[in-house]
């Protein structure tokens, strides 16, 4: 029973991580870097940062360039 739950949980996790990576590839999670132009919705949702390293440091694994793997 535990092995079956583990396998099902792993498959569900793979599905959701793949879905999140595809959203990041489409640019849905992109931050605005520097003084670049970005729509207000994107800035509210994903943030504005001075540099890419600032975005990486502050957002961690929610940074748009991060990809999940198993």
Q: In whole angstroms, what is the distance from residue 70 CA to residue 59 CA?
A: 21
Residue range 40-68, pLDDT digits in tens: 777 777 888 888 898 899 898 888 899 99
- pLDDT band at residue 8, thresholds of 50, 70 and 90? very high
- What residue ranges do the domains of the chain occupy? 2-60
Q: In whole angstroms, what is the distance from residue 28 CA to residue 61 CA?
A: 15
Q: Is the pLDDT of residue 7 over 70?
A: yes
Q: In whole angstroms, what is the distance from residue 59 CA to residue 7 CA?
A: 30
Which of residues 13 and 31 earns the better pLDDT score? 13
Which of residues 24 and 37 earns the better pLDDT score? 24
């Amino acid at each position: 029973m535990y092995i079956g739950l583990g396998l099902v949980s792993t498959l569900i996790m793979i599905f959701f991580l793949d879905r999140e990576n595809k959203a990041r590839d489409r640019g849905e999670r992109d931050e605005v870097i520097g003084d670049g132009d970005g729509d207000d919705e994107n800035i509210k949702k994903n943030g504005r940062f001075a540099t890419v390293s600032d975005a990486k440091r502050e957002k961690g694994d929610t940074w748009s360039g991060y990809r999940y793997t198993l």
